[in-house]
Amino acid sequence: MGKPDRSQLISLLTDAAALEHSLCCQYLFAAFSLKQDTAEGLSEEQLTSVVGWERLILSVARQEMEHLGLVINLLSALGGAPQLLHPAFPYATHLFGGEMALEAFSADTVKKFICFERPEHIQPADAFCRAQPALAEGVAYGTVGELYALIRTTLKEAAAGPEPLFIGPLAAQVGGGVLGTDFPRLGALGGGYDVYMSPVTDLASAMAALDRIVEQGEGSPGDHEVSHYRRFLQILDELEAAEPPFAAARPVVANPALAADDPSDGVTVVSNPAAREVMGVFDAAYRTMLMALFRLFAHTDESDDELAVLRSVAFFPLMTMAVRPLAEMLSAMPAHDPDDDTTAGASFDPSTTIAFLPHREAAWTVIDEQLRAVTALARAAAGRPGAPPRLAYVARSLELIARRFAAGVGLAQTSC
């Protein structure tokens, strides 16, 4: 690499954002594949273990969201654009000697996650990583650790130059106050939901953000128990020690999709009509959430109140009241018609049509229209005979989100 410049940093951070988002989706998919009730063939003791694993995986996924947010703050600080997309699953990666894929929880899946979070000092073979292919020409890093090490080195070199490096407006970044993760308490802020969001203003704060990302993933010498790597090792230990062994996950198909461009692209096309309808709701909700997040992470002249409205759409309710319950419902629905004892799942299809909406008022109108559209989809799906009971609650939540958003940004409220 030649003299470090802004474009190199932005390129590396854009890669990092896509990577963090991709890992997050894979963790969520595995967590949402887990069984939730003794009626699914688990003993009370087994269910307690399974819920514990789900809790740990979701905690890691939340911190991947935090990493994504921190990387986007870094991008903003450098004058770059937010990156909230990732390739459609599955896709090949040179990072782990394998592929990025949406797969149900299993020992093999957990081993893949352990490889994802492997500290640099652990040998790949000791962390269940497949053989690493030789790096292609022009690829500057072979592991996640190397990617972040390269970002750190490049940042330091660029910051040492005469030109100002951190040129993006601080107000454009998203902190814990906006996201609601700064739980107020005497003497401290942050840590709500295991998330610490911090602004980037200079080299020191940039390095602190990168330290947090790396330490949460790999762990630091004094903090072994809480790293993602350790959490996944713990899950694997418990899973392999379970006596008798049991199936913790539903029979969720890998990489579920509504359509396949090419039969060899590795997706499982879901054919059950009811599941397909819920997948459509999920895709619409996920894309609307990304649209709102783009605007939240690249806001321009929104007031604090308007930012709160954007947050009130994207960060909490769409993630927790739509994306998650829809994904949980899907993993309990037959994937195929006729039923072959497999179940569907969330595609986490980011779609290539989603991009930053640059004009504030137009963006609000687009988001408003999307919210009303996904509400209509959810309501229609909820009205079908045999629809999952929770779907009506999701549809109602989507309607209320749409109403709050429209009122908050001053759009006329119409029925969804």
Partner 1 sequence: MLTLSFEGWWQCRFATDPDPTDDPRGVSGPTFTVAGEPPFDRTIRLQQPVAPRFPHEDDIGVSITAVENDGKTVADHPLSGAAVELIGDAEFMQRNLIYVTAPFIVMIDPFELQISGPGIVIRRAALWDVTRPRLRFDDVFLDSALVMPRVNQIAVQSATVAEATGVMDYTTARVRRRADLAAILQRTTDPVAVAALRKRIAALDADRQLEGARLAAEQFMGMQASYDFPLNGAPHVTDEAGALGGVIGTSQLWPVSFWLGGYDVDALCGYMRGTLTLPFHPSR
The site for partner 1 (CB under 8 A) is made up of 36, 43-45, 47-48, 51-52, 54-56, 58-59, 62, 180, 183-186, 191-195, 225-226, 231, 308-309, 311-312, 316-317, 319-321, 324-325, 390, 393, 396-397, 400-401, 403-404, 407-408
3-state secondary structure of 268: strand
Q: Least CB distance from residue 346 to partner 1, whole Å? A: 15
Strand blocks (E) in 80-127: 91-92, 99-100
Q: Least CB distance from residue 184 to partner 1, whole Å? A: 6
Q: Least CB distance from residue 338 to partner 1, whole Å? A: 30
Nearest to 113 by CA among 184, 22, 37: 22
25: Cβ contacts below 8 Å, ≥ 6 apart: 86, 89, 102, 348
| Of residues 52 and 87, the one with the C-beta less far from partner 1 | 52
CA 4 to chain centre: 29
Beta bridge partners of 256: 268
| Of residues 111 and 390, the one with the C-beta less far from partner 1 | 390
| Of residues 48 and 153, the one with the C-beta less far from partner 1 | 48
| Of residues 73 and 216, the one with the C-beta less far from partner 1 | 216
| Of residues 12 and 278, the one with the C-beta less far from partner 1 | 278
If DSSP states are collapsed to H, E and C, what string results for 165-182? Answer: CCCCCHHHCCCHHHHCCC
CA distance readout (Å), 163 to 5, 6, 156, 166, 416: 10, 10, 13, 9, 51
**What is the C-alpha separation between 283 and 17, in angstroms, rounded?**
20
| Of residues 10 and 51, the one with the C-beta less far from partner 1 | 51
Can you list the alpha helix ranges (DSSP code H) found in 197-335?
203-218, 228-241, 273-297, 304-313, 324-330
Q: Least CB distance from residue 86 to partner 1, whole Å? A: 21
> Could you identify the residue written with the tokens 């096309």?
269
| Of residues 12 and 299, the one with the C-beta less far from partner 1 | 299
Q: Least CB distance from residue 63 to partner 1, whole Å? A: 9
Size of the chain, expressed as the number of residues it contains:
416
Q: Least CB distance from residue 143 to partner 1, whole Å? A: 25
| Of residues 252 and 394, the one with the C-beta less far from partner 1 | 394
**What is the C-alpha separation between 156 and 4, in angstroms, rounded?**
9
Q: Least CB distance from residue 102 to partner 1, whole Å? A: 19
Nearest to 165 by CA among 80, 228, 229: 80
Nearest to 349 by CA among 267, 293, 275: 267
Q: Least CB distance from residue 58 to partner 1, whole Å? A: 5
